[in-house]
Structure 1
Amino acid sequence: MAVEVKYVVVRNGEEKMTFASKKEADAYDKMLDLADNLGEWLQQAPLTLDEEQRDTLSFFLAEHKEMLTHILRGGAPQQADAKAVKPKSDKKAATKAGSASEKQAA
């Protein structure tokens, strides 16, 4: 019998992702915190976004925070190839708890 240790990221009572390492779970949880903060900030934007659009946009920005930071510091946006677009949470050690719930950092 094998013993497996899994780290589960839970938000609002809902399992978001399961990871094999604490480091990956903590990084994903931190990214969800950033997405929540960005979502609150986007509510103040002078454009109308429904909740799903705002959640999707804030998740995208949080997921690509390195590129966003680069752009905010005056760098040009770099073309993303197929490999660069994949979120860090898609590593082999992670298993998806639900693709729809994962995209929303409610």
Structure 2
Amino acid sequence: MAVITQFVVVREGVEKMTFTSKKEADAYDKMLDIVDNLVPFLAESDAQLDETKCEQLAFYLASNKDDLANILKGGVKAKPAKEPKTKKKAVKED
């Protein structure tokens, strides 16, 4: 019989997500903290977002917090690493 250690993130008595590493569970819990702080901030904006849109936007911003922090500091979004291009050989047909 195998023993599996699981870390469960619970918010207000509701199980949100289960992880196999404490580090991942802590990171997700921290992201939920950020979302909890962003929702009221976004709701106060002039954008007139409904509750669902506020939550969706908060999750997006929280899950991309590193890029957002860089943009807010005046930088640009980090571009994903490009895959090396493979050279295609031209085939000459007779």
The two structures have a TM-score, normalised by structure 2, of 0.80
Higher relative contact order (CA 8 A, sep 6+): 1
| SS of match in other structure, 1:48 | coil
* Aligned-partner Cα distance in 1 for 2:24–2:46: 35
| SS of match in other structure, 1:46 | coil
The answer for the alignment partner of 1:50 in structure 2 is: 50
The answer for the alignment partner of 1:70 in structure 2 is: 70
* Aligned-partner Cα distance in 2 for 1:12–1:36: 12
Aligned residue pairs: how many?
81
The offset of 1:79, in angstroms, is 4.7
Task: Please list the CA deviations of residues 39-96 of structure 1 after superposition, one character each: whole Å capped at 9, or x if unmatched.
Answer: 1111110121110000000010000000000100001234568xxxxxxxxxxxxxxx
* Aligned-partner Cα distance in 2 for 1:30–1:44: 22
The answer for the alignment partner of 2:41 in structure 1 is: 41
- Note closer, same or farther for the CA distance 1:80–1:52 as it changes in structure 2 (3 Å cut): farther
Counterpart residue type for residue 42 of structure 1: L
Task: Please list the CA deviations of residues 13-50 of structure 1 after superposition, one character each: whole Å capped at 9, or x if unmatched.
Answer: 21111101111101100000001101111111012111
Higher helix share: 1
Structure 2: any 5+ residue segments left out of the alignment?
82-94
- CA RMSD, 1 decimal: 1.4
Percent sequence identity over aligned pairs: 53
Which entry has the higher C-alpha Rg, 1 or 2? 2
- Note closer, same or farther for the CA distance 1:80–1:59 as it changes in structure 2 (3 Å cut): farther
Asked if 1:31 corresponds to 2:31, the answer is yes
The two structures have a TM-score, normalised by structure 1, of 0.71
- Note closer, same or farther for the CA distance 1:80–1:40 as it changes in structure 2 (3 Å cut): farther
